[in-house]
């Protein structure tokens, strides 16, 4: 398994010289300053690659080449957006970058209600609190249909939280939810979020699937021609939210994705944390079923509450059997090696991590600390080494 590290380029306060001390071999990144839908020019790709190589790393996985919201909505003439996506793929391939992680989540890349929830050690973590989310949807956003999305006890506690909350607490809740909006180009206030959600009001699960199938039909043939691999990230959290349908949340959804365009170029970014937030998901079993199409792996763990809340746990300390999951990945690598594939190693990265120690005083991207991910990488490295004997 290839140790990698997600890095946000010019938006990241963690320097590549610090990442070098983690022992990671590769950097996973993107051109985060380019607005969605525009072409990634080859000179910009080459400059980022040179920056990474000069720091002693390789860049083989893009995370992410984003899918424009109009494509997700199937809105208007999409020919130019698809052409731009394919051109960006070609430009990446010209620089030797052949794996593209992406998602098909409407509007939000991920959703949390707390960016610095305390844990018992004195560190902090990302948390999704079902009560706060219900309060936001029902009492702040005013989405009355949300009442059907939460059980009665959660709704009652949501009302109590809202009535006791201060303006600052409500603002902080909105800021935490907006932190999941992709890119650096727009954040919404409550009125703005209501407006943008209106653009999805006619998009149900089947409509989103139809738009996703069209995306695959438009781009997977290009990936095949270029020798590239596309790998979809699972929904985070793996449930409908804000009235938006989620269609990549469990094993059955992944089966649909892989069948929608049956090609080795149409694959999976296996995210242990996203899948693990759904109590019905057996993450190692799902990984074993789609193993041949796993092109990239995110290893993190979550601890779930009965009411639908969850928070980031230690990499080896959450609800998912991480040792069993790593064993599945190693077995797939061995299968690929046995059939003669020179690219049998699967890149992974320690995903998220607790903010701890000196990181608590640093201005870091939520969920992407230095020390917490280093701890996770070290623990995972030990599991991989032990299972490799």
298 counts as catalytic: yes
**Inter-residue contact 300 to 351 (CB < 8 Å):** yes
Rounded distance between C-alpha atoms, residue 352 and residue 366, angstroms? 8
CB atoms within 10 A of CB 300: 26
Phi and psi at residue 388, to the nearest 5°: -85, -10
At 84, which helix (H) or strand (E)? helix 79-94
β-strand partners of 114: 127
Rounded distance between C-alpha atoms, residue 209 and residue 73, angstroms? 10
| Sheet of strand 301-304, all strands in order from the earlier edge strand to the far edge | 114-118, 124-128, 310-313, 301-304
Q: Which of the residues 32, 68, 233, 354 is marked catalytic?
A: 233
352 counts as catalytic: yes
Q: Is 196 helix (H, G, I), strand (E, B) or coil?
A: helix
Instruction: Give the residue from 37, 90, 102, 27 showing the smallest Cα distance to 64.
Output: 102
**Inter-residue contact 73 to 211 (CB < 8 Å):** yes
Q: Which of the residues 314, 351, 355, 359 is marked catalytic?
A: 351
137: CB partners within 8 A, 6+ apart: 143, 146, 149, 242
**Inter-residue contact 233 to 101 (CB < 8 Å):** yes
| Length in residues, the chain | 389
351 counts as catalytic: yes
Q: Which of the residues 298, 315, 354, 355 is marked catalytic?
A: 298
Instruction: Give the residue from 178, 248, 249, 252 showing the smallest Cα distance to 215.
Output: 248
83: CB partners within 8 A, 6+ apart: none
Omega of the bond leading into 287 within 30 degrees of 0 (cis): no
The residue written with tokens 């596309």 in the block is: 230
Q: Which of the residues 32, 68, 352, 354 is marked catalytic?
A: 352
- CA 134 from centre of chain: 22
Q: Which of the residues 149, 271, 354, 359 is marked catalytic?
A: 271
271 counts as catalytic: yes
**262 is written with which tokens?**
């049956």
Active-site annotation, residues: 233, 271, 298, 351-352, 368
């Amino acid at each position: 398994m290839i140790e990698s590290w997600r890095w946000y380029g010019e938006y990241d306060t963690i320097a590549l010289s610090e990442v070098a001390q983690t022992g990671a071999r590769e950097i996973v990144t993107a051109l985060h300053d380019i607005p969605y839908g525009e072409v990634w020019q080859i000179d910009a790709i080459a400059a980022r690659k040179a920056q990474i190589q000069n720091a002693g790393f390789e860049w083989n996985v893009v995370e992410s080449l984003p899918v424009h919201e109009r494509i997700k909505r199937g809105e208007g003439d999409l020919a130019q957006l698809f052409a731009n996506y394919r051109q960006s793929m070609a430009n990446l391939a010209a620089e030797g970058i052949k794996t593209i992680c992406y998602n098909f989540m409407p509007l939000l890349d991920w959703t949390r209600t707390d960016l610095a929830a305390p844990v018992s050690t004195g560190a902090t973590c990302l948390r999704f609190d079902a009560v706060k989310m219900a309060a936001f949807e029902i009492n702040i956003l005013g989405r009355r249909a949300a009442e059907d999305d939460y059980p009665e006890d959660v709704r009652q506690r949501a009302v109590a939280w809202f009535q006791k909350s201060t303006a600052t607490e409500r603002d902080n809740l909105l800021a935490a939810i907006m932190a999941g909006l992709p890119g650096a180009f727009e954040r919404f206030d409550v009125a703005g979020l209501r407006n943008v959600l209106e653009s999805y009001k006619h998009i149900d699960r089947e409509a989103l699937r139809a738009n996703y199938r069209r995306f695959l039909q438009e781009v997977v043939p290009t990936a095949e021609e270029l020798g590239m691999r596309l790998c979809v990230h699972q929904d985070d959290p793996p449930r409908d939210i804000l009235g938006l349908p989620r269609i990549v949340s469990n094993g059955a959804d992944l089966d649909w994705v892989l069948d929608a365009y049956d090609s080795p170029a149409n694959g999976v970014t296996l995210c242990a944390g996203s899948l693990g937030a759904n109590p019905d998901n057996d993450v190692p079993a799902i990984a074993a079923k789609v193993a041949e199409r796993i092109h990239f792996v995110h290893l993190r763990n979550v601890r779930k509450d009965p009411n639908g809340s969850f928070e980031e746990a230690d990499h080896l300390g959450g609800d998912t059997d991480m040792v069993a999951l790593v064993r599945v990945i190693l077995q797939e690598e061995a299968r690929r090696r046995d059939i003669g594939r020179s690219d049998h190693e699967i890149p992974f990265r320690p995903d998220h991590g607790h903010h701890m120690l000196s990181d608590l005083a640093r201005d870091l991207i939520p969920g992407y600390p230095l020390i917490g991910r280093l701890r996770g990488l070290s623990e995972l490295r030990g599991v991989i080494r032990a299972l490799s004997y």
